[in-house]
Amino acid sequence: MAAPVPHFTLNNGQKIPSVGLGCWLGQPGAVDTNGRNVKQALKDAIEEAGYRHVDTAALYQDEAEVGEVVRTSSVPREEIFVTTKLGNSSRESAEAVQAAFDDSFKKLGLGYIDAWLMHWPQGVSSKTGKAFGLEGQDGPTFGETWADMEKIYESGKVKTIGVSNFSIQNLETLLKTAKVVPAINQVEGHPFHPDDALADYCKAKGIHITYYSPLGQPLKRTDVLKDEVLAEIAKQTSSTSSQVALSWAVAKGRSVVPKSSRIERIKQNISLVELSSEQVSRIDRIHKEDPKKYTRLNIAAANGDDKTVFGLTLEQLGWDCGFLPLGFPGKGNTITSID
């Protein structure tokens, strides 16, 4: 049976369940850093915990496994919302974008894809390794890539197209040329990085926000789940800090895609609790009251000596990162390594 979580209606009328299973396993491929396989986790999620929303990407290298589980599960395919994403290395031409779509389509093997997102504003050149996507860089702009995605959308093989990791600045540019307004913008979001200004902007444009890393990637370097406000509200609501963080996001109208490969956590993460407006506001204030609790975590996913994220600077991404770990120029710099 489907878990009783809210659904949000996208700007094209499609409905997206508010909680999905994140299928980036902390490393490329179908096995996570705990040695657990995405196939078992997703099967448990769908059949035992009632998930009806799955988040994968070409980059995660597990689309074939995700597709197989959705195809062979006891739940009808049309009841499951499957998101995948266009990889940065498949952006050099319209043909490359089409080939990447065909590849994801074939690997998933589901007859159609529910949502296909541009994973990042930037692409990466196979020849030089350099990023492109902005005006004046050597390669298609993200607006041109979006136009390629719009053509594929017309084919009907994908029901919804959207973006990921887009700031207000880059959405403003995209919307100048887009014929189809993205239905989704998937961005990092949790109590230490709510990104409310972006969410307000997206709401005004009819773009739904999905939060990735909604628990703050607890295995890595964060203390989101150890936050005392979350712990206190968890106690008040007889739940856990994870449930509180996810319930808060959903109460604010955002869908969430937490990753877990453990059945007890998979079940916990889709058991939302009702929060009062006072509890929601208290969580809203966490990142404002302590500057170190306002931080972007996924910045470390793609760092490098040049202090860019997959080749774009923070200014080019339009990212306000708050407290910055890992030697990025800014307010933080106390954390010098990651697990």
Ligand X SMILES: NC(=O)c1ccc[n+]([C@@H]2O[C@H](COP(=O)([O-])OP(=O)(O)OC[C@H]3O[C@@H](n4cnc5c(N)ncnc54)[C@H](OP(=O)(O)O)[C@@H]3O)[C@@H](O)[C@H]2O)c1
Binding residues for substrate are 119
Write the CB contacts of 23 (distance below 8 Å, at least 6 apart in sequence): 38, 42, 54, 55, 56, 57, 60, 62, 66, 259
Closest CB 299 distance from ligand X, rounded Å: 11
* SS3 of residue 35 by DSSP: coil
Residues in the chain: 339
Which stretches of 216-326 are assigned E, i.e. beta strand?
Answer: 255-256
Closest CB 23 distance from ligand X, rounded Å: 5
Catalytic residue flag (residue 201): no
Express the helix, strand and coil content of the chain in percent, nearest 5 each: 40, 15, 45
Q: Which is nearer to ligand X, 155 or 219 (CB)?
A: 219
The single-letter DSSP state of residue 251 is H
Euclidean distance between CA atoms 93 and 148, whole angstroms: 9
Q: Which is nearer to ligand X, 154 or 167 (CB)?
A: 167
Interaction site with ligand X (CB under 6 A): 22-24, 34, 55, 119, 164-165, 186, 212-219, 225, 242, 257-262, 265, 268-269, 298
- In what helix (H) or strand (E) does residue 193 lie, and over which residues does it extend? none
- CA R_g for the chain: 19
Amino acid letter at 274? E
* Upper half-sphere CA count for residue 291 (Cβ side, 13 Å): 9
Q: Which is nearer to ligand X, 121 or 139 (CB)?
A: 121
φ, ψ dihedrals at 203, nearest 5°: -60, -45
Q: Which is nearer to ligand X, 22 or 182 (CB)?
A: 22
Structure tokens at 57: 């990407």
Euclidean distance between CA atoms 168 and 84, whole angstroms: 22
Q: Which is nearer to ligand X, 32 or 148 (CB)?
A: 32
Whether the CB-CB separation of 293 and 192 falls below 8 Å is answered with yes
Q: Which is nearer to ligand X, 34 or 177 (CB)?
A: 34
Structure tokens at 103: 């590849």
Closest CB 244 distance from ligand X, rounded Å: 11
Binding residues: 119
DSSP calls for 261-306: -SHHHHHHHT------HHHHHHHHHHHHH-GGGSB-SGGGGG--TT
Closest CB 85 distance from ligand X, rounded Å: 6
255 beta partners: 210
Closest CB 19 distance from ligand X, rounded Å: 11
In order of 62, 150, 257, the CA distances from 210 in angstroms are 20, 20, 7
Q: Which of 51, 60, 153, 211 is catalytic?
A: 60
Closest CB 10 distance from ligand X, rounded Å: 17
Positions marked catalytic: 60
